[in-house]
Structure 1
Protein backbone atom coordinates (compact mmCIF):
# COMPACT_ATOMS: atom_id res chain seq x y z
CA UNK A 1 0.00 0.00 0.00
CA UNK A 2 1.23 3.45 -0.89
CA UNK A 3 0.11 6.35 1.22
CA UNK A 4 0.66 9.84 -0.17
CA UNK A 5 0.01 13.45 0.59
CA UNK A 6 0.95 16.62 -1.22
CA UNK A 7 1.37 19.74 0.85
CA UNK A 8 1.28 23.13 -0.85
CA UNK A 9 2.66 26.33 0.58
CA UNK A 10 0.09 28.36 2.44
CA UNK A 11 -0.29 31.06 5.04
CA UNK A 12 -3.40 32.08 6.93
CA UNK A 13 -4.05 34.89 9.40
CA UNK A 14 -5.72 34.87 12.80
CA UNK A 15 -5.86 31.12 13.14
CA UNK A 16 -5.32 29.62 16.57
CA UNK A 17 -3.49 26.38 17.23
CA UNK A 18 -6.91 24.72 17.48
CA UNK A 19 -7.96 25.98 14.05
CA UNK A 20 -10.46 28.61 15.14
CA UNK A 21 -10.30 32.07 13.62
CA UNK A 22 -10.85 35.47 15.18
CA UNK A 23 -9.88 39.00 14.24
CA UNK A 24 -6.98 40.66 15.97
CA UNK A 25 -8.08 43.48 18.30
CA UNK A 26 -6.40 46.74 19.35
CA UNK A 27 -8.50 48.23 22.17
CA UNK A 28 -7.82 51.75 23.46
CA UNK A 29 -10.35 51.18 26.24
CA UNK A 30 -12.59 53.82 27.81
CA UNK A 31 -11.30 57.36 27.37
CA UNK A 32 -12.11 60.52 29.30
CA UNK A 33 -9.21 62.66 28.09
CA UNK A 34 -7.00 62.89 25.03
CA UNK A 35 -4.64 65.54 26.45
CA UNK A 36 -1.74 63.06 26.48
CA UNK A 37 -0.81 60.16 24.23
CA UNK A 38 -3.14 57.19 24.65
CA UNK A 39 -1.31 53.94 24.00
CA UNK A 40 -2.64 50.43 23.47
CA UNK A 41 -1.35 47.19 22.04
CA UNK A 42 -2.64 43.78 21.10
CA UNK A 43 -1.23 42.23 24.29
CA UNK A 44 -3.17 44.38 26.79
CA UNK A 45 -6.67 43.94 28.21
CA UNK A 46 -9.16 43.71 25.38
CA UNK A 47 -6.44 43.10 22.81
CA UNK A 48 -5.82 40.08 20.62
CA UNK A 49 -2.60 39.69 18.59
CA UNK A 50 -2.39 38.78 14.92
CA UNK A 51 -1.70 35.08 14.43
CA UNK A 52 0.18 33.89 11.35
CA UNK A 53 0.20 30.21 10.37
CA UNK A 54 2.51 29.32 7.47
CA UNK A 55 4.20 26.13 6.35
CA UNK A 56 7.63 25.48 7.78
CA UNK A 57 10.36 27.55 6.00
CA UNK A 58 7.88 29.69 4.02
CA UNK A 59 8.88 33.38 4.17
CA UNK A 60 5.97 35.78 4.82
CA UNK A 61 5.30 39.51 5.17
CA UNK A 62 2.39 41.47 6.63
CA UNK A 63 1.06 44.77 5.30
CA UNK A 64 -1.77 46.96 6.60
CA UNK A 65 -4.18 49.17 4.69
CA UNK A 66 -5.32 52.58 5.94
CA UNK A 67 -8.53 51.28 7.47
CA UNK A 68 -12.08 52.15 6.45
CA UNK A 69 -11.86 55.79 7.56
CA UNK A 70 -8.39 56.81 6.42
CA UNK A 71 -7.82 60.44 5.44
CA UNK A 72 -4.69 60.68 3.28
CA UNK A 73 -2.36 58.57 5.46
CA UNK A 74 -4.07 59.18 8.83
CA UNK A 75 -5.98 56.21 10.19
CA UNK A 76 -9.16 57.20 12.04
CA UNK A 77 -11.85 55.55 14.12
CA UNK A 78 -15.40 56.74 13.40
CA UNK A 79 -18.27 57.03 15.85
CA UNK A 80 -19.87 59.34 18.36
CA UNK A 81 -23.44 60.46 18.73
CA UNK A 82 -23.85 61.24 15.03
CA UNK A 83 -21.39 58.58 13.79
CA UNK A 84 -19.58 61.30 11.86
CA UNK A 85 -16.82 62.12 14.34
CA UNK A 86 -13.31 60.73 14.20
CA UNK A 87 -10.45 59.86 16.52
CA UNK A 88 -7.08 59.68 14.73
CA UNK A 89 -4.67 56.89 15.63
CA UNK A 90 -1.37 55.47 14.46
CA UNK A 91 -0.07 51.91 14.34
CA UNK A 92 3.49 50.89 15.21
CA UNK A 93 5.56 47.74 14.96
CA UNK A 94 7.57 48.34 18.15
CA UNK A 95 6.81 48.86 21.85
CA UNK A 96 8.50 52.28 21.86
CA UNK A 97 6.20 53.41 19.05
CA UNK A 98 9.12 54.71 17.02
CA UNK A 99 8.48 52.69 13.84
CA UNK A 100 5.13 53.66 12.33
CA UNK A 101 3.23 51.18 10.18
CA UNK A 102 2.52 53.02 6.95
CA UNK A 103 -0.43 52.48 4.67
CA UNK A 104 0.11 49.53 2.29
CA UNK A 105 3.73 49.02 3.37
CA UNK A 106 5.38 45.89 4.71
CA UNK A 107 5.46 46.12 8.49
CA UNK A 108 6.47 42.64 9.61
CA UNK A 109 8.27 39.69 8.08
CA UNK A 110 9.10 36.21 9.20
CA UNK A 111 9.57 32.61 8.22
CA UNK A 112 6.88 30.03 8.82
CA UNK A 113 7.44 27.34 11.41
CA UNK A 114 4.38 25.21 10.71
CA UNK A 115 2.96 26.52 14.00
CA UNK A 116 1.05 29.68 14.85
CA UNK A 117 3.31 32.72 15.22
CA UNK A 118 2.07 35.73 17.20
CA UNK A 119 2.55 39.29 15.92
CA UNK A 120 1.84 42.20 18.25
CA UNK A 121 0.73 45.61 17.01
CA UNK A 122 1.06 48.84 19.00
CA UNK A 123 -1.22 51.84 18.70
CA UNK A 124 -1.31 55.46 19.78
CA UNK A 125 -3.91 58.20 19.77
CA UNK A 126 -1.76 61.34 19.58
CA UNK A 127 -1.74 63.85 22.44
CA UNK A 128 -3.88 66.92 21.92
CA UNK A 129 -6.53 65.18 19.85
CA UNK A 130 -9.87 66.97 20.25
CA UNK A 131 -12.11 64.99 22.60
CA UNK A 132 -15.17 64.05 20.52
CA UNK A 133 -18.69 63.35 21.75
CA UNK A 134 -19.34 60.28 23.87
CA UNK A 135 -19.93 57.00 22.09
CA UNK A 136 -18.16 54.03 20.58
CA UNK A 137 -15.50 54.56 17.94
CA UNK A 138 -14.24 51.84 15.62
CA UNK A 139 -12.19 51.18 12.51
CA UNK A 140 -11.31 48.04 10.58
CA UNK A 141 -7.82 47.67 9.13
CA UNK A 142 -7.20 44.96 6.55
CA UNK A 143 -4.03 42.97 7.16
CA UNK A 144 -2.57 41.11 4.18
CA UNK A 145 -0.13 38.22 4.39
CA UNK A 146 2.11 37.70 1.36
CA UNK A 147 4.14 34.53 0.94
Structure 2
Protein backbone atom coordinates (compact mmCIF):
# COMPACT_ATOMS: atom_id res chain seq x y z
CA UNK A 1 0.00 0.00 0.00
CA UNK A 2 1.36 3.33 -0.83
CA UNK A 3 1.20 6.51 1.24
CA UNK A 4 -1.41 8.18 -0.99
CA UNK A 5 -3.84 5.29 -0.62
CA UNK A 6 -3.42 5.20 3.13
CA UNK A 7 -4.06 8.94 3.49
CA UNK A 8 -7.17 8.74 1.33
CA UNK A 9 -8.49 5.79 3.31
CA UNK A 10 -7.85 7.61 6.62
CA UNK A 11 -9.66 10.74 5.41
CA UNK A 12 -12.65 8.68 4.26
CA UNK A 13 -12.77 6.96 7.64
CA UNK A 14 -12.89 10.28 9.46
CA UNK A 15 -15.64 11.52 7.20
CA UNK A 16 -17.77 8.43 7.79
CA UNK A 17 -17.17 8.57 11.57
CA UNK A 18 -18.36 12.22 11.67
CA UNK A 19 -21.53 11.34 9.82
CA UNK A 20 -22.34 8.43 12.13
CA UNK A 21 -22.18 10.53 15.32
CA UNK A 22 -25.77 11.31 16.57
CA UNK A 23 -26.96 14.80 17.72
CA UNK A 24 -27.09 15.30 21.50
CA UNK A 25 -30.37 16.62 23.05
CA UNK A 26 -30.60 18.06 26.58
CA UNK A 27 -33.93 18.22 28.40
CA UNK A 28 -34.97 19.86 31.63
CA UNK A 29 -37.74 21.82 33.36
CA UNK A 30 -38.53 25.31 34.60
CA UNK A 31 -40.48 25.44 37.86
CA UNK A 32 -43.35 27.97 37.96
CA UNK A 33 -44.79 28.89 41.35
CA UNK A 34 -47.43 31.16 42.84
CA UNK A 35 -48.42 31.56 46.48
CA UNK A 36 -51.80 33.09 47.24
CA UNK A 37 -52.84 34.38 50.64
CA UNK A 38 -56.31 35.13 51.91
CA UNK A 39 -57.63 38.45 50.72
CA UNK A 40 -60.60 40.76 50.85
CA UNK A 41 -62.09 43.18 48.34
CA UNK A 42 -63.32 46.43 49.86
CA UNK A 43 -65.66 48.29 47.52
CA UNK A 44 -64.21 46.01 44.83
CA UNK A 45 -60.61 47.08 45.49
CA UNK A 46 -57.89 44.66 46.63
CA UNK A 47 -55.84 47.54 48.10
CA UNK A 48 -54.59 47.00 51.64
CA UNK A 49 -53.94 50.63 52.55
CA UNK A 50 -55.42 53.91 51.46
CA UNK A 51 -58.77 52.21 50.79
CA UNK A 52 -61.64 54.57 49.95
CA UNK A 53 -64.50 53.48 52.21
CA UNK A 54 -66.67 56.37 51.03
CA UNK A 55 -67.68 59.85 52.14
CA UNK A 56 -69.86 61.10 54.98
CA UNK A 57 -71.06 64.36 53.43
CA UNK A 58 -73.25 66.65 55.55
CA UNK A 59 -73.84 68.87 52.52
CA UNK A 60 -74.05 72.66 52.22
CA UNK A 61 -76.11 74.52 54.85
CA UNK A 62 -76.31 77.97 56.43
CA UNK A 63 -73.93 78.38 59.40
CA UNK A 64 -77.03 78.92 61.53
CA UNK A 65 -78.09 75.24 61.22
CA UNK A 66 -79.63 73.36 64.14
CA UNK A 67 -79.31 69.60 63.52
CA UNK A 68 -77.80 67.88 60.47
CA UNK A 69 -77.58 64.30 59.25
CA UNK A 70 -75.47 62.50 56.65
CA UNK A 71 -75.45 59.04 55.12
CA UNK A 72 -72.28 57.33 53.99
CA UNK A 73 -71.93 57.38 50.21
CA UNK A 74 -69.51 55.09 48.41
CA UNK A 75 -69.16 53.12 45.21
CA UNK A 76 -71.70 50.66 46.63
CA UNK A 77 -74.37 53.30 47.37
CA UNK A 78 -75.04 54.13 51.02
CA UNK A 79 -72.64 51.52 52.39
CA UNK A 80 -69.22 50.04 51.83
CA UNK A 81 -68.94 46.38 50.90
CA UNK A 82 -66.48 43.67 51.87
CA UNK A 83 -66.02 40.28 50.24
CA UNK A 84 -63.24 37.94 51.35
CA UNK A 85 -61.90 34.66 50.02
CA UNK A 86 -63.98 31.64 51.03
CA UNK A 87 -63.68 30.61 54.66
CA UNK A 88 -61.98 33.82 55.80
CA UNK A 89 -63.38 35.49 58.88
CA UNK A 90 -62.73 39.18 59.34
CA UNK A 91 -63.57 42.14 61.53
CA UNK A 92 -64.38 45.74 60.63
CA UNK A 93 -63.86 48.50 63.12
CA UNK A 94 -63.83 52.24 63.47
CA UNK A 95 -60.37 52.95 64.84
CA UNK A 96 -60.41 56.70 65.38
CA UNK A 97 -61.02 60.10 63.89
CA UNK A 98 -58.20 62.38 62.81
CA UNK A 99 -59.10 65.59 64.63
CA UNK A 100 -58.68 66.39 68.30
CA UNK A 101 -60.82 68.91 70.16
CA UNK A 102 -60.59 72.46 68.83
CA UNK A 103 -60.71 75.56 71.02
CA UNK A 104 -64.29 76.44 70.01
CA UNK A 105 -66.77 73.59 69.60
CA UNK A 106 -70.28 73.94 68.17
CA UNK A 107 -72.79 71.14 68.76
CA UNK A 108 -73.17 68.31 71.24
CA UNK A 109 -69.96 66.35 71.79
CA UNK A 110 -70.55 62.60 71.60
CA UNK A 111 -68.68 59.57 72.88
CA UNK A 112 -66.13 59.22 71.50
CA UNK A 113 -65.75 62.87 70.57
CA UNK A 114 -65.44 63.60 66.84
CA UNK A 115 -64.87 67.00 65.28
CA UNK A 116 -65.17 68.53 61.84
CA UNK A 117 -62.48 71.23 61.87
CA UNK A 118 -62.52 74.43 59.82
CA UNK A 119 -59.99 74.30 56.96
CA UNK A 120 -59.24 78.02 57.45
CA UNK A 121 -59.28 78.24 61.27
CA UNK A 122 -58.19 75.09 63.15
CA UNK A 123 -59.53 76.53 66.43
CA UNK A 124 -63.14 76.18 65.13
CA UNK A 125 -64.93 72.83 65.11
CA UNK A 126 -68.32 71.19 64.78
CA UNK A 127 -68.98 68.13 66.99
CA UNK A 128 -70.56 65.12 65.30
CA UNK A 129 -71.22 61.44 65.98
CA UNK A 130 -71.44 58.24 63.96
CA UNK A 131 -74.57 56.08 64.08
CA UNK A 132 -75.58 52.65 62.83
CA UNK A 133 -79.17 53.70 62.08
CA UNK A 134 -80.83 56.49 60.13
CA UNK A 135 -82.81 57.56 63.21
CA UNK A 136 -79.50 58.43 64.93
CA UNK A 137 -80.40 56.44 68.02
CA UNK A 138 -77.48 53.97 68.15
CA UNK A 139 -74.14 55.77 68.35
CA UNK A 140 -71.02 53.99 67.10
CA UNK A 141 -68.07 54.00 69.43
CA UNK A 142 -64.55 53.22 68.24
CA UNK A 143 -64.61 49.46 67.78
CA UNK A 144 -66.37 46.75 65.82
CA UNK A 145 -69.03 47.48 63.23
CA UNK A 146 -71.96 45.19 62.49
CA UNK A 147 -72.84 44.39 58.90
CA UNK A 148 -76.21 45.72 57.80
CA UNK A 149 -76.86 43.29 54.92
CA UNK A 150 -75.33 40.75 52.54
CA UNK A 151 -75.93 40.94 48.79
CA UNK A 152 -74.23 38.68 46.21
CA UNK A 153 -71.82 37.43 48.92
CA UNK A 154 -70.78 41.02 49.73
CA UNK A 155 -71.22 42.15 53.33
CA UNK A 156 -72.43 45.75 53.52
CA UNK A 157 -71.71 48.26 56.29
CA UNK A 158 -73.75 51.47 56.55
CA UNK A 159 -72.84 54.54 58.60
CA UNK A 160 -74.76 57.68 59.40
CA UNK A 161 -73.51 60.96 60.77
CA UNK A 162 -75.34 63.34 63.03
CA UNK A 163 -74.70 66.85 64.29
CA UNK A 164 -76.98 67.68 67.20
CA UNK A 165 -77.38 71.01 68.92
CA UNK A 166 -75.75 72.93 66.11
CA UNK A 167 -75.08 76.60 65.99
CA UNK A 168 -78.46 78.26 65.55
CA UNK A 169 -76.30 81.29 66.07
CA UNK A 170 -74.39 83.77 63.99
CA UNK A 171 -71.18 82.95 65.95
CA UNK A 172 -70.50 79.87 63.79
CA UNK A 173 -67.90 80.66 61.14
CA UNK A 174 -68.82 79.89 57.55
CA UNK A 175 -66.46 77.63 55.61
CA UNK A 176 -65.51 74.05 54.96
CA UNK A 177 -65.11 71.66 57.90
CA UNK A 178 -63.44 68.24 57.55
CA UNK A 179 -62.38 65.14 59.44
CA UNK A 180 -61.09 61.65 58.57
CA UNK A 181 -62.59 58.52 60.07
CA UNK A 182 -60.12 55.63 60.22
CA UNK A 183 -61.53 52.18 59.42
CA UNK A 184 -59.61 48.91 59.82
CA UNK A 185 -60.45 45.51 58.31
CA UNK A 186 -58.57 42.60 59.90
CA UNK A 187 -58.58 39.14 58.35
For the superposition of Structure 1 and Structure 2, which TM-score range results when normalised by the shorter chain?
0.7 to 0.9
- 1:81–1:134 CA contact under 8 A, matched in 2: no
Question: In structure 1, what is the equivalent of residue 88 of structure 2?
Answer: 58
- 1:54–1:113 CA contact under 8 A, matched in 2: no
Using CA pairs under 8 Å that are at least 6 residues apart, name the structure with larger relative contact order, 1 or 2: 1
Question: In structure 2, what is the equivalent of residue 82 of structure 1?
Answer: 121
Q: Indicate the SS of the match to 2:145.
A: strand
CA distance in 1, matches of 2:168, 2:44: 37
Aligned residues: 137
Q: What is the TM-score with the length of structure 1 in the denominator? A: 0.72
Deviation of 1:59 (Å): 2.3
Please tell me whether residue 124 in structure 1 is matched to residue 155 in structure 2.
no
Question: In structure 1, what is the equivalent of residue 180 of structure 2?
Answer: 140
Q: Which has the larger share of helix?
A: 2
Question: In structure 1, what is the equivalent of residue 65 of structure 2?
Answer: 34
Structure number, greater radius of gyration:
2
Output the aligned Cα RMSD.
3.3
Stretches of structure 2 that go unaligned for 5 or more consecutive residues are: 1-31, 102-110
Q: Indicate the SS of the match to 2:126.
A: strand
Deviation of 1:38 (Å): 0.8
Q: Which moved more, 1:114-123 or 1:87-96?
A: 114-123
- 2:114–2:127 CA contact under 8 A, matched in 1: yes
Question: In structure 2, what is the equivalent of residue 25 of structure 1?
Answer: 55
Stretches of structure 1 that go unaligned for 5 or more consecutive residues are: none
